Each structure stands twice: as C-alpha cells, then as structure tokens.
Structure 1
Amino acid sequence: MGKKTNIGLALAASGAAIWAGTKMTSKPVKRQTKPFFEGEKPRIFAHRGGAALAPESSLAAFKHAAELGVDGFEIDIRMTKDEELIVFHDQFIDRTTNGSGRVSDYTLAELKEFDLGYHFRDLQGEQTYRGKDEKILSLKEALEAFPDHLFNIDMKEDPDTYEGSLMPSKLWRLIEKLDVMDRVLVTSFYDEQIDRFSLYSQDRVAIGAGENEARKAFSLFRSGFGHLYHPNADAIQIPTKHKSIPLDSKGFIEFLTALNIQVEYWTVNDVETMDRLLRLGADGIITDRPDIAIHLVKND
C-alpha cells in the first residue's frame, strides 16, 4: 500500500469521523412562529379564490370563498407593463379572458378591459360568469377588499426576466405600505425569488419554501439525515406526491412539524384525500373546492 493510499484512507476516515460527529451533535433548528400562523388549525385556503366555483382570481371567487368561511386565499401574482402587481396565474391572458397576449404587454387599465369570466364553466358546465363584469384585480385591490383574510402569495415571474427582477422589491414595498406583514405568506417555485424578497423583508413576513428548499427537506428526511436540515422557510406547501414519490407520509409531516414548519397540501379537491391529510396532521389544505373543505372541517 503506497503513501498516497495511506493518506487517502486517513483523510477518508477523518471525514467519516467528522460526519459521524456532526450526526451525533447537530441539533435541529426550529423556526420562530410568525403571526401569520396564529389561530386555529387546520386552515383552508381557496386556491385562486376557489377556481372550481367561480372564475379564478376574480372578486367573485374571493367573495364566495369568504362567505363559505375560508381562512384565506392562495393567489399568484404577475407584473403588468406599467409595473403593477396583479392577481393572475398565467403568463398569457388567453386561457381565462377574452383577450390574448402576455400580461406584461398590457397596462393594468388595459387588462381591466377584458372579461375575466369569459371562459369559466361552473360545475354543471354552464358559462355563468361570461359578461358579468369580472375584471382582473390588482394585488392592492385584493388585499384591501379582504382585510380579515390571509393571503398566500406566489410570485410567478421568472427571476431572469425584467418583471421577475422587479417583483420581490415591488411586493415588499406594497406589503409594507399596506401594513399587512402579519397576514401574508410569500412564496415562489423559484428559490431565488424568495431569497430576493427575504433581503427586503428581513424575517418580518412568513416565507414559503421554494422547489429546491422543499426537495432538500424531503431528501434529508428520507435519507435519515433530517437532523442536518436547517430550514429557510416557515411553511412547506407541496402536492401529495411528486411523480411516483409520496410526500404525504405521517413521518414527513411530523418531521416538519417538529421544526415548527407549517405543512400544507395543494391542490386537494376530494373529501377523502382532504380527510386523510388532516388526520395525518397537515396544517392546511389549498383547494379549488373550499365548499367541500369547509364542510369537512366544520363537521369533523
């Protein structure tokens, strides 16, 4: 055995000892509970206002969900040509309005000329909202219209775009101006967007995990090294499974709960899955069918 081999084995052994020592001594770091999470659980969030019951992201949807008794709304935001934040999911307006083109090619005033209920069909397949004057909402309008509700805000713009580069700072300034820090949670599939927003918010707003953060949490839990996970988010919002991998195990929920991380599942629309998740200990459900979820919670 050569000298280099001996040195290599010694370094490997040293590294293993350090790794083992870390495993023995590292302690999980719990997140501090933000005001956003205070109150009774489980909580029901209407996905885009309850997209199965009224046109998604519309005032009608939010009003209906509020009347049903939801705790809050899960919404997406985009940026207009005149740099206004609007409540809207898609990059294009074609799917949900009678217009066409990119959101970013229109001003807020121009977008409000389109019919947000144009393509919506209710549970019976009827176009009950076409021509009913449902308009695209600005984020400011939505936050001011529902002062007693929580908002789970998903930044949709890609961080590499012009709109994406401005969105975190624009969002923070609006939250600060309206003084709604305690009733919003900000998240994005893009971890970079969350990091940018956090530079402004400085831990004054609840943060949801991005895709990479959620993957890291699950990977460490599944590999047996969950004690090495140091969370950078206050909540993890996930589907019940990713491809063929289930994400809704009792063990994973308990792992996150022990770190004071809120666990919410999207987009859950059937009563059987809702009931199972809540019995497993999920903190909340994000759903297109808030009517079903509210009925389940109230009659549990």
Structure 2
Amino acid sequence: MTMTLIASHRGGAILWPENSLTAFRRTAELPVDQVEFDVHLSADGEVVVIHDPYLDRTTEARGPVEALTLAELRQVRLKGAGGDTVPTLAEVAALFRPTPLMLRMELKTGADGSPYPGLLERFAAVLAQAGMLERTVITSFRLPLAAEALADERFDGRVIWLVSRPCLRDAGLEGAIGAALASGVPAIGLHSADCNARAVATCRRAGLSVGAWAVNGAEVIRHILGLGIDVFTTDDPVEALALRQDQSMGRPPVTGIRAPVM
C-alpha cells in the first residue's frame, strides 16, 4: 500500500497562526509531504496568502482583502502571529523551495464570490519565477476553477476538486464522481466525515485519486490512515506524523470511530 501523504493545512492552524510565515517556517521543519495554503489577489493584483476574502477573522484589520494594495497589506498584522503580516505567494514559495515539500494551493474567490480575473496567470508567473511551478498542486471547492486550472498545461494535471459537504449531500457520491469525470479532474477531496471504505473504493473504481480534508483529532486521523487515502490535510501535522509512524510500525489503532454510511 502506498503511504498516505500528509499536508499541513494553512501551515498547521491548530499549532500556529494560520497562513503566517511563522506557521510556514515551522512546517518547513517537519517531514510532512505538502503544505496547504490559500491565495487571493490584492487591489493591485499581487498574489497574497490568506484564507478568507475578508481580513476580519485572522488580522487586526477589517474589510475585503482585495480592497487593499500590497503595500497596505504589509501594514496589516495577523492576530497572534508576533508581528507577521499577510504573506505573498512569492515569500511562501521562496521559503519552501529549499525543502522537498509540495505546495498545495487552494484557489479562492473575491468577497462577492466571483473568481479573480487573471488569477491563474498571475500565480503561475510567481511560481515559475520561484522555480516552484512543477511542485504545486492546485485545489478548489469551485469545480469550474479546478477545470480551468486543469486546462492550463503548465499545471500538468495536478488539480484536485474539493467536494463540499452540501455539494455531496445534494449530488450524492455518484453525482460528484460524474461531475469530476465530466470535467476531467483526476482527483477529488472529501470531508473526513464523508470518508469510508465504500466511498474510497467507489472513487478509485471510477479512476479518481481520493483525498480527505478536515482531518483533525487522533481518532479521525487514524480512521483516514486506515482507509489508505492518498493524501489528507490536517491542522495538526505533528500529531498526524506521529500517528502515521505508528501505523507504519504496525502498532494497533484505537478503535471506536465509525464513518457515516453514504
């Protein structure tokens, strides 16, 4: 069985301030396989790394990310991050270039829910300049955005559609798989609560790679590892690494978690 890959979600959001350079530096010291983060555009078209379209939750400022220029964002401090400001994609790419980690970049939309014009072109240029284009996986909850990235040969098919729980509830697993296949997307990511042996087997019979997101807590991590998922994102990469090591050494898992029937 191929080893399940671990991605440090937002740089390890349980352990360090999410999407901060502090979190990314700490992640770079870990033997994880990928680092996950989110990208938006500033008012002057610079690619910046932050999860929400608004500054309110994670910074000391308020309002849409896209309303401020990069120079203005440089003055916005992240909450609890010891003075860190909103990082740029160029900074994150430069930090991880000396490491073996893959970048796992989620495409976000603006405050009104609309895709940023030219986002693919802008971040491809940044990654190419940093020498990290071929070490980047693209993810999105928006299937059209994932399909757009898939159509760009520079990303060489390294695209994952993240299936939201409402989407999965409305379409069903077979419907979600059908949508992925129709768009050509080679991989989907499911919420950890929607992952069970049947779901994984169904995705793989359809020829799709399958990953999991929101994988936090020892029982959930053990469950996902036991399914042989291809890759998962976690806010606690330290715990995930320890549990993967336990699995590789044949230590018995803790039982008791039950995945939902889909």
For normalisation by structure 2, the TM-score amounts to 0.81
- Shift, 1:172, TM fit: 2.7
Contact 2:163 2:190 in 1 (8 A): no
- Shift, 1:259, TM fit: 4.7
Q: Which amino acid aligns with 2:93?
A: L
Q: Residue 184 of structure 1 aligns with which residue?
A: 136
Contact 2:149 2:155 in 1 (8 A): no
- Shift, 1:78, TM fit: 0.5
Tell me, which stretches of 5 or more residues in structure 2 are unaligned? 248-262
Question: In the alignment, is residue 282 of structure 1 matched against residue 237 of structure 2?
Answer: no
Q: Residue 171 of structure 1 aligns with which residue?
A: 123
> Deviation digits for residues 29-75 of structure 1, max 9, x if unmatched?
xxxxxxxxxxx621111110001111100111112122232111111
- Shift, 1:168, TM fit: 2.1
> Deviation digits for residues 1-35 of structure 1, max 9, x if unmatched?
xxxxxxxxxxxxxxxxxxxxxxxxxxxxxxxxxxx
Aligned counterparts of 2:56 and 2:200: Cα–Cα separation in 1:
38
Q: Residue 239 of structure 2 aligns with which residue?
A: 292
Q: Residue 174 of structure 2 aligns with which residue?
A: 219
Give the secondary structure class of the aligned counterpart of 1:209: strand
Aligned counterparts of 1:153 and 1:272: Cα–Cα separation in 2:
26
> In 2 relative to 1, CA 282–211 (structure 1 residues): closer, same or farther, beyond 3 Å?
closer
Contact 1:217 1:229 in 2 (8 A): no
> In 2 relative to 1, CA 99–252 (structure 1 residues): closer, same or farther, beyond 3 Å?
same
Q: Residue 151 of structure 2 aligns with which residue?
A: 199
Which of the residues 26, 33, 37 maps onto 1:71? 33
> In 2 relative to 1, CA 159–189 (structure 1 residues): closer, same or farther, beyond 3 Å?
farther
Q: Which amino acid aligns with 1:251?
A: R
Contact 1:79 1:163 in 2 (8 A): no
Question: In the alignment, is residue 155 of structure 1 matched against residue 107 of structure 2?
Answer: yes
> Deviation digits for residues 273-298 of structure 1, max 9, x if unmatched?
11111111212221111111011012
> In 2 relative to 1, CA 88–159 (structure 1 residues): closer, same or farther, beyond 3 Å?
closer
- Shift, 1:256, TM fit: 2.4
Q: Residue 16 of structure 2 aligns with which residue?
A: 54
Tell me, which stretches of 5 or more residues in structure 1 are unaligned? 1-39, 121-128, 242-246
For normalisation by structure 1, the TM-score amounts to 0.71
Superposition map of 1:1-300 within 5 A: 41-116=3-78, 118=79, 120=80, 129=81, 132-147=82-97, 148-158=100-110, 164-201=116-153, 204-211=156-163, 215=168, 218-220=173-175, 229=181, 232-241=184-193, 247-300=194-247
Contact 1:76 1:156 in 2 (8 A): yes
Aligned counterparts of 2:111 and 2:151: Cα–Cα separation in 1:
15
> Deviation digits for residues 177-222 of structure 1, max 9, x if unmatched?
434233111121112222333333366140111549x856822589
RMSD between aligned alpha carbons?
Answer: 2.7
Tell me the matched-pair count: 239
Aligned counterparts of 1:163 and 1:240: Cα–Cα separation in 2:
26
> In 2 relative to 1, CA 162–107 (structure 1 residues): closer, same or farther, beyond 3 Å?
farther
- Shift, 1:171, TM fit: 2.3
Q: Which amino acid aligns with 1:54?
A: W
Q: Which amino acid aligns with 2:83?
A: D
Give the secondary structure class of the aligned counterpart of 2:215: coil
> Deviation digits for residues 148-176 of structure 1, max 9, x if unmatched?
21111111115987761221222233333
Contact 1:221 1:255 in 2 (8 A): no
Aligned counterparts of 2:113 and 2:236: Cα–Cα separation in 1:
33
Q: Residue 253 of structure 2 aligns with which residue?
A: none
> In 2 relative to 1, CA 158–221 (structure 1 residues): closer, same or farther, beyond 3 Å?
closer
